[in-house]
Structure 1
């Protein structure tokens, strides 16, 4: 029996705690927007930005990230160190909601080090809890457990009893999750029940929803008690709906979809998966859409609708690939920016030292100006010759790499065209074979789709960056809101690839590529203009 996917762990450091319906959140949003315009102090403006970010974190991740970043920049400008750390923590919270776990862990770790330096106990507790959540998402369960126990240790050592009641349910839920993952259901149930008991005492609706959800999954996956599991899972969904957190509602729906699928109740499973998909599309969550399509693919296959199963599987894989690419590309970008910054600082320092030395040398050598002029002329010409040689070598290197890149792209096109051609031919043959053999054909077709090799794309992207190293930097500077899928399409168009070639490489239909190109024109502000999309990207 397949295990239900784990729900998101509760993150501590937030300003807004939703406890009302979604309609009430809309009213709250309007009032916060008004408050932001008329904020009379630095603290009021910062707090309003943070509340907006946390409110949007349940409905629109991009908006949530936008307000969190604005809050951080404002705190840096006003030299409000603790508020800067709080804003960066919120950026990590949004990242983990999006499924960008490595990015979230990076932000959390930076903030944790800062809290340890200033010996802020509350901050250390919160960030250890959040860092443990990120480690859990990345599959580093021992590190996650160590972070949660460290948070519990600091919390137990504190004298704030009320804070313990508020925070401990989250930590207990998180520890229980890790024990469940590590195959210790009894320890997991103990911590889940501790979390639920404390959450009911406070009361704390979000922690209650998480605890009910976790206990329900445990009864279904490990303890094999489906009736009890459904009771707890239904309660968990009800609490999350009452809070109005659409992301958590969608994740509960995915879990319930899988529950009914395992119980062979395919119609109910499909209803829950479709509801989750609608919410995932609305709030822009890649991981929710990927999970929902995955459930729909399994249900369609169980119903014998192999064509629908294949379509849903491709969609699930497409969103999952986007999550992976987004994590990798953003982390690489961050490291590259840090490296470039440190390198530029070192160059500036060296150039400043050289400038001072040249001034001193010039003043000292005024008496022998003619000889110095000759020497300088000689040095300049020598450097010019070296620069010219370097430029020639660089141009030759770019030409070679461009040829390699073209060869790589053609290999991808031929490989994917072959896979698609074989799949289409098998689909045609499938109609002619006996019904009892059709499932075998469909499984072969699905296996062919699963054989699509992401490593080829990674090799292509590596070669592309070697040849066009400034392309992504310029593109992200001019259009920061582009998604990883948009950036991939820009790279293909930069190589002047046709829609048919792009479709072959990216495993999409030509129609899907054309739609993506039209959306990209809109994002690049080329709609209602005569500008050619390929020419525009080539000139970046």
Structure 2
């Protein structure tokens, strides 16, 4: 009696303390959900709320997980979609609804495969192994566990890996125990407990202790050893306040005392287990607790109460069996979900192809435009080059014509000068009455050479070098007409002798004029060539 009272007081104190702490944390998490503008913050907060409720109300845990899933689906963040679907599956698993748990685990598995999340895949294979175990498909369960073990072995050691390894060892031990391999089961349970203690994983410590207690009680027939593990497991579970796990420990303790033919000690454990499991909605634990209590009441001789309790067990069992038996509905639901997901993926692929085609067409049009622009630019460049070539040829032709004309002028002036000189030599020998006439002829010849030669040369020069005078005036506005005339002759690279022939000057006078022009053009103290400088003006 003292044990029962001590146990109930301890449970109430622990429960009250944890509820107060959880209430404060829950309020802050709901505040985040209601105020945050970031979807990821809301999702994480709702998943943590679901985890907190997992210890006391599966219905509320499910509501929070589904709300998180709705936000993740709208946000289209695959990593968070996987996390929320996984959280929903975990609640179904705890409730004993293996159909819906497996549906959601397989969906989460697809998400994790899509985003190549090895740790997520590891967890899903482990959880699917748990479901196969509870559906008594032990070979499939082991296959899933070893897939998880293989993925775990590929990862680098970390704190997270340390938390996963005891879970796997515990689950593998469950299969070996079910198959009657108690030696392997004991080895894996012991390993799971050691790893859980090393990593301070309290939930796994409670599970491993509980499983070791069952192994020693049922398979190894060592009740003294069994009760040590079972009570230690209950103590650990009370410490972290998980009502679902506490309820499981209580029903196992009830069965333990029932096996020892101590129904009075067994009864409070079974009743408390029923109360806790019904409170949080753990249907499978509730069913097991009702069966345990029915057998306890029968052992106590309370046959009427035992029958009533058995009916409650049967109703719970039928409800669970209905959930498990409806495989066709599950298959149809899975097929529907698969078809729906496949349609979504097909539409996504279609949109991707459409975007790809659009990009190809756009790039093709862009390439075609670029080719056309290139062709146009090259065509215009060829036209410009051709025009430039024609202009160059035209300038060359005019330069040749100008050079020919200049040579003609030089020869004409030389002829005029020669005639004038011959007349001057004959002048003393002519009759006095003809002397004046010959003198006038000589003057006319010299004037004709001066006027016609320069006028014709200037006309020809301007036809070829149209901008020369403009540039010359712009740079050197103080030049005289004689200077400009000399510049034009030098622009054609004419020698002083050739210039003297055209201008009717001596070569020395031309040389003096060139020196004077060089000074006016500010070239006296430089190495610049006068002809080169004038050739650059165009």
- Quickly name the TM-score band, shorter chain normalised: 0.5 to 0.7
Partner of residue 273 from structure 1, selected from 270, 275, 286: 270
Q: Does 1:31 align with 2:20?
A: no
Matched-pair contact (CA < 8 Å) for 1:103–1:330: no
Partner of residue 321 from structure 1, selected from 318, 321, 325: 318
1:257 alignment partner in structure 2: 254
Q: Secondary structure at the match of 1:21?
A: helix
TM-score (structure 2 length as normaliser): 0.58
- Bigger relative CO (Cα 8 Å, ≥ 6 apart): 1
Determine the C-alpha separation between the residues in 1 that align with 2:113 and 2:217: 40
1:56 alignment partner in structure 2: 53
Note the residue ranges of structure 2 that are not aligned, 5 or more in a row: 1-14, 347-538
Partner of residue 291 from structure 1, selected from 284, 288, 292: 288
Determine the C-alpha separation between the residues in 2 that align with 1:312 and 1:95: 25
1:219 alignment partner in structure 2: 216
Number of equivalent positions: 328
1:79 alignment partner in structure 2: 76
Determine the C-alpha separation between the residues in 1 that align with 2:204 and 2:264: 30
Q: Secondary structure at the match of 1:267?
A: helix
Determine the C-alpha separation between the residues in 2 that align with 1:133 and 1:193: 19
1:9-408 equivalent positions in 2, closer than 5 A = 21-328=18-325, 332=329, 335-336=332-333, 339=336
Determine the C-alpha separation between the residues in 2 that align with 1:340 and 1:33: 31
Q: Secondary structure at the match of 1:116?
A: helix
Matched-pair contact (CA < 8 Å) for 2:78–2:111: no
**Compared CA separation, residues 326 and 152, structure 1 to 2 (3 A):** same
Determine the C-alpha separation between the residues in 2 that align with 1:58 and 1:46: 19
Matched-pair contact (CA < 8 Å) for 1:129–1:148: yes
Determine the C-alpha separation between the residues in 2 that align with 1:224 and 1:193: 17
Determine the C-alpha separation between the residues in 2 that align with 1:333 and 1:166: 32
Q: Deviations over 1:279-324 (max 9, x none)?
A: 1221122222211111111011112221111111100000111122
**Compared CA separation, residues 36 and 340, structure 1 to 2 (3 A):** closer
**Compared CA separation, residues 331 and 42, structure 1 to 2 (3 A):** farther
Determine the C-alpha separation between the residues in 1 that align with 2:144 and 2:150: 10
Task: Give the superposition deviation at 1:333.
Answer: 6.5
Matched-pair contact (CA < 8 Å) for 2:103–2:334: no
Hey, which of these two has a bigger chunk of helix by percent?
2
Determine the C-alpha separation between the residues in 1 that align with 2:227 and 2:328: 39
Determine the C-alpha separation between the residues in 1 that align with 2:322 and 2:36: 39
Note the residue ranges of structure 1 that are not aligned, 5 or more in a row: 1-17, 350-540
Task: Give the superposition deviation at 1:49.
Answer: 0.9
**Compared CA separation, residues 107 and 263, structure 1 to 2 (3 A):** same
Moved over 3 A (4+): 20-23, 326-331, 336-343
TM-score (structure 1 length as normaliser): 0.58
Determine the C-alpha separation between the residues in 2 that align with 1:227 and 1:212: 14
Determine the C-alpha separation between the residues in 2 that align with 1:53 and 1:66: 8
Task: Give the superposition deviation at 1:273.
Answer: 0.3
Task: Give the superposition deviation at 1:189.
Answer: 0.8
Determine the C-alpha separation between the residues in 2 that align with 1:203 and 1:51: 20
Q: Deviations over 1:246-269 (max 9, x none)?
A: 111101100000001001111111
**Compared CA separation, residues 23 and 256, structure 1 to 2 (3 A):** farther
Task: Give the superposition deviation at 1:199.
Answer: 1.1
Task: Give the superposition deviation at 1:234.
Answer: 0.5
Task: Give the superposition deviation at 1:335.
Answer: 2.1
Q: Secondary structure at the match of 2:180?
A: coil
Q: Deviations over 1:63-82 (max 9, x none)?
A: 11111111111111011111
Matched-pair contact (CA < 8 Å) for 1:21–1:242: no
Determine the C-alpha separation between the residues in 2 that align with 1:59 and 1:157: 36
Instruction: Give RMSD over aligned pairs.
Output: 2.4
Q: Secondary structure at the match of 2:174?
A: helix
Determine the C-alpha separation between the residues in 2 that align with 1:330 and 1:81: 29
Task: Give the superposition deviation at 1:119.
Answer: 2.4
Task: Give the superposition deviation at 1:30.
Answer: 2.3
Q: Secondary structure at the match of 1:304?
A: coil
Q: Deviations over 1:463-508 (max 9, x none)?
A: xxxxxxxxxxxxxxxxxxxxxxxxxxxxxxxxxxxxxxxxxxxxxx
Greater displacement, 126-135 / 326-335: 326-335
Q: Deviations over 1:4-31 (max 9, x none)?
A: xxxxxxxxxxxxxx9x834422332222
Task: Give the superposition deviation at 1:338.
Answer: 5.1
